[in-house]
Amino acid sequence: MEEPARAAAEGYETHAPFLAPRREGEFVSLMFFMGRKRKNVEISVNGEGGVVRLIMVPSMRLSYRTYLALAEVEREYAQMLRELVDFAYENGITSYVKLHAAKYREMRNKYPDLPSHYVFTAGRDAVTRVKSFLAKKRRGEAYTDRPAVRRVAVWLDAQLWKPEGRTAVRVATKRGWVTVELRLHKHFWRYVNGGWALRSEARLKLDHRRRIVYLYFVFEKRVEPYEPRGFLPVDVNENNVTALIDGTAYLLETDVKRITLGYEKRRRRIQERNDGKFADVRRKNRAMRKLRESDIKEDIRNKIANIIVQVAYQRRYAIVLERLGKNPGKGMIKSVKDPRLRHRIYQAAFRGMQREIEEKAREWGVPVVYVDPKNTSKLCPIHGAKIRYGKKTRRGRCPVGGEVWHRDAAAVWNLLLRARGDGSTAPSPGPVGEAARGAVTPPPSAAHDPIRIPRSVWARRKPLALIG
């Protein structure tokens, strides 16, 4: 089925000019990808088997006339959004229909020159913000008494923007339609044949200093998980991620400890140089903004997730992860008094690594199984006895069989056994095939050490050849 027909059959709109021919009679949607510190890509589940991705694309430098037209839209949209958020919160409105009925006519009279559909999108934006604030308030995570609008991205529906050719879009403003030229890049071509469908909604954010806009496009892809033939357990640690692949444990070193402590020292030196009576706050802030700790860690998580998901997808395996909860670091530091160790635990981002794997697995249709993490690195996978570890070492000996186990190798073997339902603490493995249950068991060899792959190796070359 051609892409436009498939998109229409699945119930969402597409913009035909953004669909380019790949071969004669065959169409694929053009997918935008741009790195805003890699955090521009948001993946979420949309119903059964659906993946939604929000992609950011920068524009060329705008003409002054175009910039003024878009700045007017942003200014009035922000004013309208703040009014709608305050009204919805004060009156307990969380329904877009009710908010539209109560405020649409007033907003149209107050902003008569603004295209009417900005009132529609501002209402949806306001309801979304109020719902999010109320949910955080119920969880005790809200920092203010009422929702505050600090950052504004203008929401666009199908009546407020439309593609113009394959390198530009047109946006409705008070002064009519303006053309915004897009800055395409190498990632764009990687996703040209990705099979993603472009939705009709988009978002626009102005960069006043550089006089450009960032356009956020929404793409959707239908992915159905396959029936797994086996399991690929993954154990996330501070300094490495260990995966068990066909009976062999591979330890991918991440160097997160060294990165965290190194940037902590750099921040301390910057503060010491710029604190005191004659402190230069601007200089300090500029120096702090140049630090790339979050970028480096995000890059590590993204590449490791890609490696693990690709291996699982090629073998048709399900990925096994520990069920850590929403904030595992908070529970881990309860008995830790050393401030540097507490900082390291929080910066390790165990759930962040798992979320990256989950999102990439969702995109490729790789099933993910969660098991109880209790004592996975403490018990011998062969005898179930508690492994005796020495001080400041990650290798220990089983008191029953005498096998020598590396902590991370023992952890991934125990994750595999629990996913197969072989352990008493294992939950149900969920909807996985029978072929995945009777797979590999740990060999009773004298030593069980993982194969170490340094970060300098797996991050700079094709890693799949290293792990078979």
User: In this structure, are 351 and 397 located in the same domain?
Assistant: yes
Which of 222, 243, 274 corresponds to the end of one domain?
222
Cα gap 128→47, rounded to integer Å: 18
Tokens of 465: 């050849």
Q: How many CB atoms lie within 10 A of CB 91?
A: 11
What's the CA gap between 13 and 8, in Å, rounded? 6
User: How many domains is the chain partitioned into structurally?
Assistant: 3
Co-location of 319 and 413 in the same domain: yes
Q: Do residues 238 and 348 touch, judged by C-beta distance below 8 A?
A: yes
Residues 213, 360 within the same domain: no
Q: Is residue 249 domain-shared with residue 295, that is, in the same domain?
A: yes
Kindly state whether residue 38 falls inside one of the protein's structural domains.
yes
Around Cβ 115, how many Cβ atoms within 10 Å? 18
Q: Are residues 56 and 69 in the same domain?
A: no
- Residue 103 in any domain: the answer is yes
- How far is 102 from 107, CA to CA, in rounded Å? 10
pLDDT at 286: 83
- The residue behind tokens 């290798």 is 395
- Residue at a domain's end among 154, 174, 191: 154
32, two tokens = 């935008």
> What is the average pLDDT score of the chain?
80
CA 222 to chain centre: 18
CB 50 within 8 A of CB 225: no
Query: How confident is the model at residue 400, as a pLDDT?
Result: 87
**Enclosing domain of residue 98:** 65-154
Q: Are residues 363 and 430 in the same domain?
A: yes
Domain annotation covers residue 200: yes
How many CB atoms sit inside 10 A of residue 366's CB? 25
Position 321 scores a pLDDT of 93
Residue 203 counted as domain residue: yes
Task: Give the residue carrying structure tokens 């073998």.
Answer: 315
Task: State the pLDDT at residue 391.
Answer: 82
Give per-residue burial for 142-175: e unless 16+ CB within 10 Å, then b: eeeeebebeebbbbbeeebbbbeeeeebebbbee
| 310 located within any domain | yes
Assess if residue 159 is contained within a domain: no
CB 321 within 8 A of CB 357: yes
Same domain, 311 and 420: yes
Taking the C-alpha atoms of residue 58 and residue 180, their distance in angstroms, rounded to an integer, is 10
- If asked whether residues 412 and 374 sit together in one domain, one would say yes
pTM reported for the whole predicted model: 0.75
222, 240, 275 - which closes a domain: 222
Per-residue pLDDT, 225: 86
Reported as type and span, the H/E element at residue 326 is none
The position carrying tokens 């249709």 is: 365
DSSP-derived 3-state class of residue 188: helix
With a cut of 50, which residues of the chain have pLDDT below it? 1-47, 422-439
Q: Are residues 140 and 45 both part of a single domain? A: no
Q: Are residues 307 and 434 both part of a single domain? A: yes
pLDDT at 31: 29
Instruction: Answer positive or negative: Cα dihedral of 3, 5, 10, 16.
Output: positive
Q: In 337-406, where does DSSP find H-type helix? A: 339-348, 350-364
The two tokens of residue 108 are 């149209």
The token duo for 412 is 């991934």
- Residue 172 domain-assigned (yes or no): no
97 and 44 belong to one structural domain: no
376 shares a domain with 346 = yes
